[in-house]
Amino acid sequence: MFLLCVVFLPLLTGGCDKAESPTVKQPPVAIVSGDECHVCGMTISRFPGPKGEAYVRGATKPFKFCSTRDLFSWFLQPENKVSATSIYVQDMGATDWAHPGDSTFIDARSAWYVANQSLQGAMGPTLASFASKADAEKFIKKNGGQLLRFQDVTLELVATLHEDNGPRQHTNH
């Protein structure tokens, strides 16, 4: 029955409640060796910095992204904004920047972000992502950058991400 749903869904446009229902489970999944970025095609697991995952409506597997930068450059396309459902980023307050763990995915829409900070992601400059505002602020003290919410991130910002050049506070406390 489920298989029929998936196969005929494009033809039935709204006629298959099961596949479209919010009860379709779309949890974050582990990044495994060999996973490739949906945007740039790079093998994801060998690189530092937060990763992303995104489901589209009715999907049982997420797209995976090498970096928050590539996740946003996908999500911010108008057609993807419409089709995207669950989106995840990794909590850099709960994992190591150089080797982000798999159990640290959080809802991307409620996360805090730091743009134009000094640490490199898989594609160079990237957005650091955090579950807690306090962790994001602590990160800024060390690595610079600007604190943002999900809805503050625009294509223009993603296209002009750069390393922080402002004053650092390494010498204080």
Q: Which stretch binds Cu ion (CB under 5 A): 37-45, 106-114, 140-148, 160-168?
A: 37-45
Near Zn ion by CB under 5 A: residue from 19, 37, 111, 158: 37
- Does position 66 interact with Cu ion (CB under 5 A)? The reply is yes
Instruction: List the interface residues with Cu ion, window 109-138 (CB under 5 A).
Output: 123
State which residue, 66 or 119, has the beta carbon closest to Cu ion. Answer: 66
- Does position 40 interact with Cu ion (CB under 5 A)? The reply is yes
State which residue, 75 or 112, has the beta carbon closest to Cu ion. Answer: 75
Q: Which stretch binds Zn ion (CB under 5 A): 11-19, 25-33, 40-48, 126-134?
A: 40-48
Instruction: List the interface residues with Zn ion, window 87-126 (CB under 5 A).
Output: none
- Does position 158 interact with Cu ion (CB under 5 A)? The reply is no
State which residue, 70 or 135, has the beta carbon closest to Zn ion. Answer: 70
Using the CB atoms, write b or e for 49-75: b if 16+ within 10 Å.
bbbbbbbeebbeebbbbbbbbbbbbbb
Binding site for Cu ion (CB under 5 A): 40, 42, 66, 123
